[in-house]
Amino acid sequence: MWAVYAAALGAMLFWGCSYVWSTIVFEYWNPFIVAFFRAFFSSLLLFLMLKLLGQSAKIDRKDYKTLFVLSLFNPALYFLFENFGLLHSSPTISAGIVALIPVFITIMAFFVLQERLRFQNIVGIALSFGGIWMMLINKEMTFEATWYGVVFLFLAVAMAVCYAAFIRPLSLKYNPFVIVAWQNLIGSVLFLPVFLIFGLRQLLSTPITMPLIKSFLMLLIFASTLAFPFHTYVIRRLGVSRASIFSNLIPVVTAVVSFFILREPFSVNKITGIAMVVGGVFLSQIGKIKLNNR
């Protein structure tokens, strides 16, 4: 069981750092370039890894449709919405909003799967949204993020919830690295037209620097190539609800790394908001975790 928790912690660490790496990369490339390169090169690395390990990457024809829908939600739409949201807000605020994914999964389960919500789940949902409000407001009572940046981030959350609704059956059938390899390959094909239209000219005119190379390689290897298979493996072993609770750690990791690397200040509102989001997500999952452990 230790491997499951190690994979969960590793995925959250990589995703927490990814907001900082992305912020650095966005100083050079726009989100269309980053999204296409992340998906394309990650798929190449994963297929190469499977080949070297002698693992089959074959997918049954009947699963093509589900795989395409998964790829449309993530990486295609999720990457674009998250990248544009991050471009117009801070890494810590972005991570805090994305950490609401388990809360929205709980809400979806209530309306779609008719799962019962306990009192502490409702309190947790309210606390999480209150935490996001705290993170968005500074001491002068003005927003620290643009409204469209917040909208993009919530759209990314919606894509992640849709993704969670489809991933479980495939995660039980295939190696997580196989699923993510195909997802990223299909995602890169979907990204290609917008990359050629909106990204190619900037790519050709932007100088390549060491900060860009280092940050992009970290983003590619850890956040795109390793974190997603790790998380898919955790979903297969623990289920969506129990796996999602680990996302509590993402805004904490992002806040700490942003402070040391980007010198992003820690305000009282931001610290309080992070604590409220983490506590709220935990409360929103308690009943579901107990239910799944029976």
The model's pLDDT over 100-152, given as tens digits with 9 standing for 90+, comes to 887 787 777 777 766 677 787 788 778 878 887 787 776 655 566 788 999 99
CA 17-22-25 angle, to 5 degrees, is 135
Indicate whether 136 belongs to any domain: no
Indicate whether 287 belongs to any domain: no
| pLDDT for the residue 290 | 46
Show the low-confidence residues of the chain (pLDDT under 70): 113-115, 138-144, 240-242, 245, 284-294
| pLDDT for the residue 142 | 57
Indicate whether 47 belongs to any domain: yes
Indicate whether 127 belongs to any domain: no
Domain that holds residue 154: 2-102+144-263
CB 123 within 8 A of CB 180: no
Indicate whether 15 belongs to any domain: yes
Indicate whether 215 belongs to any domain: yes
As given in the structure block, the two tokens for residue 262 are: 């980007």
Indicate whether 288 belongs to any domain: no
Indicate whether 122 belongs to any domain: no
As given in the structure block, the two tokens for residue 154 are: 């919530």
Burial classification of residue 2, based on how many CB atoms lie within 10 Å of its CB (0-12 exposed, 13-18 middle, 19 or more buried): exposed
Instruction: Count the domains in the chain.
Output: 1
As given in the structure block, the two tokens for residue 52 are: 């070297």
| Beta carbons within 10 angstroms of residue 205's beta carbon | 7
CB 43 within 8 A of CB 171: no
- What pTM value is reported for the model? 0.83
